[in-house]
Amino acid sequence: MTRAHIPGILAMATIVVASNILVQFLFGQWLTWGAFTYPLAFLVTDVMNRVYGTQAARRVVFVGFGVGLIYSLIGTQIMGEFGPLVTLRIALGSGIAFLIAQLLDVAVFSALRTGRWWRAPLASTLLGSTVDTALFFTIAFSANLAFLEPANDVSWAGEVLPILGFGTAAPLWVSLAIADWSVKLGLALLALVPFRLITARLTAAH
């Protein structure tokens, strides 16, 4: 690890910790605040991959994961108005989803590195975001995995409602996951602009 990697590591750890807290608070009926912060993790990974290479990107993922996990576990011990700032299931779901999705992102980006500049970050972020969303919401809120943290009441997420207010009935967390995934897809497109600007600047200085 070099000094140049430190900003990426700090950014990654900050995003993970903030998102673990914000995912517990709704923005409107179908979204959590975490939907707007967590996609930035893919931007950080892709910038590191483009500027410093695959190994550097993986290093930032692992170190950022470790730091984020430590702070998330600390958050499980700090009580807020409605319980722990970070529940154990959210910490576990976030950690597993993060690691698998980010490593997938790195692999896809690396495979498409020599293509047009936008193809690697867009494809890797879309695939990574899809896997991340599916794993996180299932682990954190599915009633089938209640044994992971029996004392954590997530019955609110299991309320059966029409998906996004219409269509087939499903637990609320399914609607939250779909809405979260939709935001991630939109942010993946928007992130191409800062990705292009940041990588151009860092490449020139590197």
Does a structural domain hold residue 70? yes
Domain containing 200 equals 3-130+184-205
Matching residue, tokens 């009441």: 153
Strands 160-162 vs 83-84: parallel, antiparallel or unpaired: unpaired
CA distance 112 to 116: 8
Does a structural domain hold residue 87? yes
Does a structural domain hold residue 140? no
pLDDT tens-place string over residues 36-59: 988 899 999 999 999 999 999 999
pTM of the predicted structure, to 2 decimals? 0.88
- Contact 145/132 with Cβ under 8 angstroms? no
CA distance 151 to 16: 24
pLDDT at 1: 58
Alpha helices in 112-191 (DSSP H): 119-141, 172-190
Does a structural domain hold residue 144? no
- Structure token digits, residue 55: 């190994």
Q: Which amino acid is at 175?
A: S
| Number of Cα atoms under 13 Å in the Cβ half of residue 206 | 16
DSSP 78-125: SEETTEESS-HHHHHHHHHHHHHHHHHHHHHHHHTTTS-TTHHHHHHH
Report how many domains make up the chain.
Answer: 1
Does a structural domain hold residue 160? no
pLDDT tens-place string over residues 67-93: 778 877 787 777 766 667 678 888 888
Does a structural domain hold residue 92? yes
Does a structural domain hold residue 31? yes
- Contact 12/64 with Cβ under 8 angstroms? yes
pLDDT above 90 as % of the chain: 54
Does a structural domain hold residue 32? yes
